[in-house]
């Protein structure tokens, strides 16, 4: 029922944003008069007049309108929307400050403006947070729903349906699927909704079921069918979205941009870019430098003990595969006999493995000291140099051997979308006890849902896992 009043609610939220900002400006004026911090203020001093409030209302209305806050955004992440609200509010405040300066408001208090920025950010962020949480709550309970028809009951369509079922707060009710495959007709597909007919029946189904949203999730080979469906529904009051069939070739997720009006879908773009990439690199550099300084005495002691324990070099250098399949030399303290690589052929037939992974719980090549170094993860410390060189990160997927990557499937290769890490989701969830499938699923989940906070949690959880020593061979 609420969806009938979307335009009224939008106008109401638009008005409330401006009203709340006006209240924040009034409160800032009151605070400036009440909290003088030792500077006497005459009772009749006036910092604000009607023109300032009017200018504020016009500026906020313009900036917030251009920011498109009032367009329905059921699938957008909450933190992303709040960040946009915060940025727009701060931009509005800067514009107001410029307006005051331009019109020569010399007696306007800078402290008042500071109060206003803080109050306005706090009020609007909390208001938008409460509104979005309220909308998510009522949608999850079955109100304000939009009926969706998914055209294509293949892999792509199934992923769309499952993603929406797992997130009921989006408020999309899946009315059904359309697909040309005879064996799918009438089936409850993916345990979500029935296949209502073939693609040619799209218009009829949209009209009969009163569909609000149509998602076209057809394979790339069905391009002609996509065009026919769009043309058939052109005059219908529905939103039509197209999901590109990129699951088989996209490394993690595609990035869409425009080239002077021509949409481009990037399937080999950096997963982390901009601020996230810069921040992660800064944390890596700081962590590697601090780590090398702290562990230098321990690393020196390990190097001396390795030399005394068995003949051969201190470091074990091996070709590993990093971000986007780039090879690099990874450094570790040697924990095996010097000719360990040659002896491996006698222990494991790599080319005949059922999957590109193996583990030897009692590897005869490992030295006595090596077992201690492995159990305590001291052998990994030289990888801090790889982090400094930009080949690895403190946190990320496990760096894989070049020989193993040759046997990877397309799905396995998705884990190569970011830099490998000294520690990562694998190391805190079982290490060597995990199967390849379990490890890849954990690593892909880490990549898709990356955050600096997640990195910090993994680093903190690594310490007890190292002490416990489980899964280290």
Over residues 415-428, the mean pLDDT reads 89
Average pLDDT over residues 400-406: 83
- How many beta carbons lie within 10 A of that of residue 94, not counting itself? 14
Query: Would you say residue 127 has pLDDT above 70?
Result: yes
For the stretch 313-348, what's the b/e string if a residue is b when 16 or more beta carbons lie within 10 angstroms of its beta carbon? eebbeeebbbbeeeebebbbbbbbbeebeeebeeee
Contact criterion met (CB below 8 Å) for 324 and 416 = yes
Give me the pLDDT at residue 1, please. Answer: 39
Band (241; pLDDT cuts 50, 70, 90): confident
With respect to residue 255, please indicate whether it lies within any of the assigned structural domains: no
Judge if 434 and 314 occupy the same domain. Answer: yes
Predicted local distance difference test score (pLDDT) of residue 43: 46
The residue-averaged pLDDT of 185-200 equals 87
Residue 230 lies in a domain: yes
Question: Are 196 and 218 in the same domain?
Answer: yes
Q: Is residue 278 predicted with pLDDT exceeding 90?
A: no
End-to-end Cα, the chain, rounded Å: 60
**What would the mean pLDDT of 440-444 be, rounded to a whole number?**
87
Q: Which residue has the tokens 């709040």?
A: 82
| pLDDT digit string, tens, across residues 3-35 | 445 567 677 777 888 899 889 888 888 887 776
Judge if 351 and 410 occupy the same domain: yes
- Quick one: average pLDDT of 113-126? 87
* pLDDT above 50: residue 2: no
Q: What is the pLDDT of residue 316?
A: 93
Residue 210 CB coordination number (10 Å)? 10
Q: Taking the complete model, does pTM exceed 0.75, yes or no?
A: no
pLDDT at 468 over 90: no
Given a cut of 80, is residue 48 above it in pLDDT? no
Say if 258 falls within a structural domain: no
Of 81, 108, 140, which marks where a domain is finished? 140
| Boundary (domain end) residue, out of 109, 140, 171 | 140
Q: Are residues 128 and 183 both part of a single domain?
A: no
Q: pLDDT band at 331, cuts 50/70/90?
A: very high
Of 240-244, 256-260, 275-279, the least confident: 256-260
Question: Is 286 found in the same domain as 425?
Answer: yes
Residue 261 lies in a domain: no
With bands split at pLDDT 50, 70 and 90, how would you rate the model's confidence at 387? very high
* 156-181 per-position pLDDT tens digit: 888 888 888 888 888 888 999 999 88
Number of residues assigned to the chain: 473
Q: Are 323 and 359 in contact (CB under 8 A)?
A: no
Greater confidence (393 vs 412) lies with 393
Crossing angle between the packed helical segments 274-309 and 368-376, to the nearest 10 degrees: 160
More confident residue, 249 or 312: 312
- Domain match, 313 and 349 both: yes
Average pLDDT of span 427-441: 78
Residue 444 lies in a domain: yes
| Rounded percentage of the chain residues whose pLDDT exceeds 70 | 79
The per-residue pLDDT for 106 is 55
Strands 262-266 and 193-197 come out as: unpaired
Whether 244 has a pLDDT exceeding 90, the answer reads no
Q: Are residues 122 and 168 in the same domain?
A: no
pLDDT of residue 70: 63
> Are residue 134 and residue 232 in the same domain, yes or no?
no
Across residues 449-470, what is the average pLDDT? 82
Asked if residue 264 has pLDDT above 90, the reply is no
What average pLDDT does range 113-120 have in this prediction? 86
**Final residue before a domain boundary, out of 140, 173, 189:** 140
Please indicate, yes or no, whether residues 427 and 356 belong to a single structural domain of this protein.
yes
Give the pLDDT confidence score for residue 45 in this predicted structure.
46
Asked whether the beta carbons of 311 and 341 are under 8 A apart, the reply is no
Average pLDDT, stretch 194-209?
90
Interval 79-99: pLDDT, tens: 777 887 888 888 888 888 877
Q: Does 250 reside within a domain? A: no
449 found inside a domain: yes
Higher pLDDT, 315 or 113: 315
Same domain membership, residue 134 and residue 171: no
Task: Output the CA–CA distances (angstroms, integers) from residue 379 to 201, 287, 392, 419, 425, in the order listed.
Answer: 63, 17, 16, 20, 19
Q: Which of 147, 154, 146, 156 is nearest to 243 (CA)?
A: 156
Q: Please check whether residue 341 lies inside any domain of the structure.
A: yes
For position 214, which CATH number holds? 3.40.50.720
Parallel/antiparallel/unpaired status of strands 213-216 and 393-395: unpaired
| Domain count along the chain | 3
Q: What is the mean pLDDT of the chain?
A: 80
Kindly give, in sequence order, each residue whose CB lies less than 8 Å from that of residue 254, ignoring residues fewer than 6 positions away.
244, 246, 265, 266, 267, 269
For residue 37, the model assigns a pLDDT of 53
What pLDDT does residue 44 have?
44
Is the same domain home to 355 and 457?
yes
Assess whether 444 and 304 both reside in one domain.
yes
Please say if the pLDDT value at position 292 is more than 90: yes
Cβ contacts of 89 within 8 Å, gap of 6 or more:
21, 120, 121, 124, 125
Tell me which residue range forms the domain holding 87.
2-140
């Amino acid at each position: 029922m609420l969806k009938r009043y979307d335009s009224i609610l939008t106008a109401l939220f638009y008005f409330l944003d401006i009203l709340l900002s006006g209240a924040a400006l009034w409160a800032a004026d009151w605070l400036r008069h009440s909290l003088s911090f030792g500077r006497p203020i005459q009772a009749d001093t006036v910092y604000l007049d009607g023109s300032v409030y009017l200018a504020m209302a016009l500026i906020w209305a313009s900036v917030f309108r251009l920011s498109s806050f009032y367009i329905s955004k059921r699938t957008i992440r909450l933190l992303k929307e709040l960040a946009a609200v915060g940025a727009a509010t701060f931009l509005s405040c800067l514009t107001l400050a410029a307006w005051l300066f331009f019109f020569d408001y010399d007696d306007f208090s800078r402290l008042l403006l500071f109060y206003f920025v803080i109050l306005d950010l706090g009020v609007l962020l909390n208001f938008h947070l409460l509104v979005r949480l309220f909308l998510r709550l009522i949608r999850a309970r079955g109100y304000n729903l939009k009926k969706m028809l998914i055209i294509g009951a293949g892999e792509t369509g199934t992923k769309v349906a499952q993603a929406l079922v797992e997130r009921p707060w989006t408020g999309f009710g899946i009315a059904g699927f359309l697909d040309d495959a005879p064996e799918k007709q009438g089936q409850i597909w993916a345990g979500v909704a029935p296949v209502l007919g073939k693609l040619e029946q799209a218009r009829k189904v949209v009209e009969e079921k009163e569909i609000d949203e149509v998602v076209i999730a057809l394979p790339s080979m069905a391009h002609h069918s996509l065009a026919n469906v769009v043309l058939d529904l052109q005059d219908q009051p529905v939103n039509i979205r197209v999901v590109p069939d990129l699951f088989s070739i996209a490394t993690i997720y595609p990035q869409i941009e425009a080239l002077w009006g021509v949409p481009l879908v990037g399937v080999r773009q950096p997963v982390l870019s901009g601020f996230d990439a810069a921040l992660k690199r800064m944390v890596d550099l700081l962590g590697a430098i601090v780590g090398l300084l702290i562990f230098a005495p321990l690393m020196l002691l390990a190097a001396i003990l390795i030399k005394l324990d068995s003949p051969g070099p201190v470091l074990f250098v091996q070709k590993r595969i990093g971000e986007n399949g780039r090879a690099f030399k990874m450094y570790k303290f040697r924990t095996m006999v010097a000719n360990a690589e040659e002896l491996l052929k006698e222990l494991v037939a790599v080319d005949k493995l059922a999957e590109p992974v193996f583990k030897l719980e009692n590897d005869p090549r490992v030295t006595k000291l090596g077992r201690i170094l492995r159990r305590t993860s001291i052998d990994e410390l030289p990888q801090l140099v790889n982090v400094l060189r930009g080949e690895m990160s403190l946190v990320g997927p496990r760096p894989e051997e070049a020989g193993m990557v040759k046997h990877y499937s397309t799905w396995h290769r998705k884990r190569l979308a970011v830099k490998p890490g000294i520690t990562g989701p694998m190391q805190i969830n079982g290490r060597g006890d995990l199967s390849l499938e379990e490890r890849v699923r954990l690593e892909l989940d880490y990549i898709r849902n990356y955050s600096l906070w997640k990195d910090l949690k993994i680093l903190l959880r690594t310490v007890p896992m190292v002490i416990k020593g489980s899964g280290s061979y």
